Amino acid sequence: MIRLKDLLKEITIQGVRPNEFLKTFLDVVKEKYPNSVWRVSDDGRNLQSIESNNADEVSLIAWSIKVPSIKSINNKNFYVGIAIQDAFTKSYKNVLGNAIQIHIKNLLNKHRDAMPALFIVGDNWDPETWEHIANKYNITLINDDNYEDLVQMAEDEDDDEASDALIQDLP
């Protein structure tokens, strides 16, 4: 295992592109929990912290995406943000929300044609937390319940390949 401050110096998240959101998250964590210990998975989307007592594992599976919106708002035709599949940050208070805010701000600077969004992928075990974060940082919350109402889908909604082609994975 490697200490966070050393990991940040050496981090090379494997895959086609680096996962900038995980790097942002680690930067935020470093400020509050500099002695925490972390592992990054080979796919570059999964980050885990191992507490010093090894009893409390924290995990985050997230990445950045850009998708076309159904309607243009102020000449913005896309949503850009973080897709979160799993986030159990337990005792790491406020770091996830802060990381989301910082990273989305960075994405919006690069993608001026987009609106901010937080994508919850799969089962949503804690809807109140995501609603709180989305409201606090003025981000559109997109999940299974409203995805088809906000995001352009392929003409044949059952064509998963065509629908996936509309999603741009970002670094």
In contact, 23 and 63? CB cutoff 8 Å:
no
Instruction: Count CA atoms within 13 Å of residue 62 on its CB side.
Output: 28
DSSP three-state, residue 108: helix
User: Are the CB atoms for 131 and 106 separated by under 8 Å?
Assistant: no
Query: Which of 38 and 32 is assigned the larger pLDDT?
Result: 32
Q: What is the pLDDT of residue 53?
A: 47
pLDDT at 1: 41
> What tens digit of pLDDT does each residue of 79-117 get?
999 999 988 887 788 889 999 999 999 999 999 999 999
Total number of domains constituting the chain: 1
Note the pLDDT of residue 47.
73
Q: Which residues pair with 46 in a beta bridge?
A: 61
* Other C-beta atoms lying within 10 Å of the C-beta of residue 51: 15
Range of the domain at 20: 2-170
Better-scored residue on pLDDT, 8 or 97: 97
Q: Where are the beta strands (DSSP E) in the chain?
A: 2-3, 37-40, 46-50, 57-73, 76-88, 114-120, 140-142, 168-170
